[in-house]
A and B are shown apart, each in its own frame.
Chain A
Amino acid sequence: MKIWGMHMGKRRGKRLAKTGPLLLIAAPGILYLLMNNYLPMFGVFLAFKDYNYVKGIFGSDWNGFDNFRFLFKTHDAWVMTRNTLLYNAAFIVIGTIAAIFIAILIYELGEKRRVKLFQSALMLPNLFSWVVIGFIAYAFLNADTGFINNTLLKSFGAEPISWYSTPGPWPVILLITYLWKYVGYFSIVYIASIAGIDKSVYEAAQLDGASKMQQIMRVTLPLLKPTIVIMTLMAVGRIFYSDFGLFYQVPQNSGRLFEVTQTIDTYVYRGLMELHDVGMSAAAALYQSIVGFLLVMGANALVRRLDNENALF
């Protein structure tokens, strides 16, 4: 989606509208963005201060790059970066494959009522908040009353597992939760993309005797490639940002799991709200903003080279 394009040419020769009234209409929105988005950009200098609640934003002492030095000396810095990147990479790869698989299945159903039914069922989890999903995960995982320990493991005669203090299975739990919430939602995009494929291509393939499977492998997937590439690059641009709710609500903020659940976003939250270490968490947040910025720019440059129409800018 091209969202920021220059349209200089069109304007030539046209009378310009009065600036004042139009600017006035946009003013509330402009003010809001200044407040909500631009003002905090100037607040990033907090990362270079030894923040003190009493001394305040401007009164606190500068400490140069100390916050960053301390941050990157900690084991946490490595853990949160690794977790953020690896989880996102897994989500992108597995999520994309699953979404395309479902999109092809739904598209091939043909019959409208069935399409709507299955699509609704698969989309429904996307509408729930991470808090509610945390409750649902709890119903499965809770050590004493959880479904898995009490019903599943018992029927195999296995020992109950204290899920919220056993890090090992969490990468899988988080992946399943992620897929459960998002795959139906992501598949909508691919369904739309498949629906956009010229039907005559399939007719030609059928005349040549291509089976359904061959049509999917040789026609659908290759023609989906541009969408897949764009969607993936957009996700790569956001790979330094994690889904805060997934990593905070689903593991119930359990400290025993931090090694496998801590991401940059949960670290920043905990640093700020639980440890009150403003300097360190501001440093982590700025680290995320800057690397995130570079990644978005890089991803967009790539998209633009591949397919100018879909570049963000």
Chain B
Amino acid sequence: MKRPHNDVKRFQRFATAALAILAVFALLPILLIAIASVTDENVLVSSGYSFLPAKLSLDSYYYMVKQSQMILRAYGITISVTLLGTLGSVLLTTTLAYPMARPDFKYRNLLSFFVFFTMLFNGGVVSSYIMWTRVFAIKNTIWALIVPNYLVTAFNVFLVRNYYTNSIPHAMVESAQIDGAGELQIFFKIMLPMAVPTVATISLFTGMIYWNDWVNGLYFISDAKMYGLQNLLIRIMNNIQFLKVSSNTALLGTQNIDLPGSSVRMAMAMIGILPILILFPFVQKYFVKGVVLGAVKG
């Protein structure tokens, strides 16, 4: 009976080796832009982005510090949007989910269907764009980055509702009622604090969505002053490309000296993901839990 044991060890060695290779492939692209962001611009122009550049330089980061006003502004907008969006989403989602979890609420099934139907059918991007811009005049306001699409998703509502139904006994509500608490009091003093584990999960995912969102900005923001980080990145990608086209026609040949375009581009991408890289080790556990919670029951 020794064979199976050897077998297990051998398979573990194989798994470790295979995963190590896969992990390298997962991380190398990130390493490439990290190295590119600190590569000397002349080296980039002559030999391109590489893992082993001939010369390193921090010019791109100096350039960004000089241009910091625009970048800080975009950072500020993205941080505010992420915080406001996540807070708003948590409030709207938990308040909507809670009555759906109350067995003594008359319209719970109707309300569940009302939320659920949004998963089945949608009016499409075009009519919602026309509505947000023509009816609510949301273009080029901070609300355009927060309100459309992400505040309440049926999926999160059901996640919270299931948590309330499965983990918080209805008797708690009843005893609070006997003590004379009103519904609002019951919700904010008891139910919301008790839902903290799920609230943490949906905050994490919603926060990620807001931090990474560029679609709302693409549709609703045309004023560069209102760009969040992601939309600033899109703009920079297009702009530097535009510069390249111009310098090919020898009109703006000197532009490249002021602007270490190839490395700045990657440095910008780096500061876009830096907060994620820093926070990731701390939230990884909750992230995994959230994915499992959302995908399979139990």
Contact = CB atoms under 8 A, between A and B. Distances in A.
Contact of B265 (A39, A135, A184, A310): A135
Given A32-B152, A123-B284, A136 B33 contact: yes
Contact of A29 (B92, B187, B294): B92
B151 A36 contact: yes
B284 A120 contact: yes
A44 B151 contact: no
Interface string B43-54: 011011111000
A164 to B, nearest CB: 10
B145 interface: no
A7 B162 contact: no
A81 interface: no
B296 A120 contact: no
B184 interface: yes
Contacts of A296: 119-120
Contact of B106 (A16, A28, A38): A16
**Main SS of chain B's interface residues?**
helix
Chain B: interface size category: 35 or more
A313 interface: yes
B12 A108 contact: yes
Interface stretch (A68-76, A85-93, A137-145, A165-173): A137-145
A36 B149 contact: yes
B109 A6 contact: yes
Contact of B125 (A120, A206, A285): A285
A17 B151 contact: no
A178 to B, nearest CB: 13
Interface in A23-64: 23-26, 28-30, 32-33, 35-44, 46-47, 56-57
Interface in B193-246: 208, 211-215, 218-219, 230, 233-234, 237, 241, 244
A289 interface: yes
**Main SS of chain A's interface residues?**
helix
A145 B288 CA distance: 37
A25 B187 contact: yes
A29 B157 contact: yes
A4 B266 contact: no
Given A15-B104, A132-B269, A151-B48, A127 B116 contact: no
B26 A46 contact: no
Interface in B92-114: 92-93, 95-100, 102-109, 111-114
Interface of A: 1-4, 6-8, 10-11, 14-19, 21-26, 28-30, 32-33, 35-44, 46-47, 56-57, 102, 104-106, 108-110, 114, 116-125, 127-132, 134-136, 138-140, 142, 144-147, 149-151, 180, 184-185, 188-189, 192-193, 196, 206, 209-213, 227, 231, 244-245, 249, 252, 265, 268-269, 271-273, 278, 281-282, 285-286, 288-289, 292-293, 296-297, 309-310, 312-313
8 contacts: A37-B122, A42-B123, A150-B48, A188-B291, A281-B126, A296-B119, A310-B297, A312-B119
Q: Which 6 A-B pairs have the closest CB atoms?
A: A43-B127, A29-B96, A150-B48, A40-B123, A285-B124, A129-B212
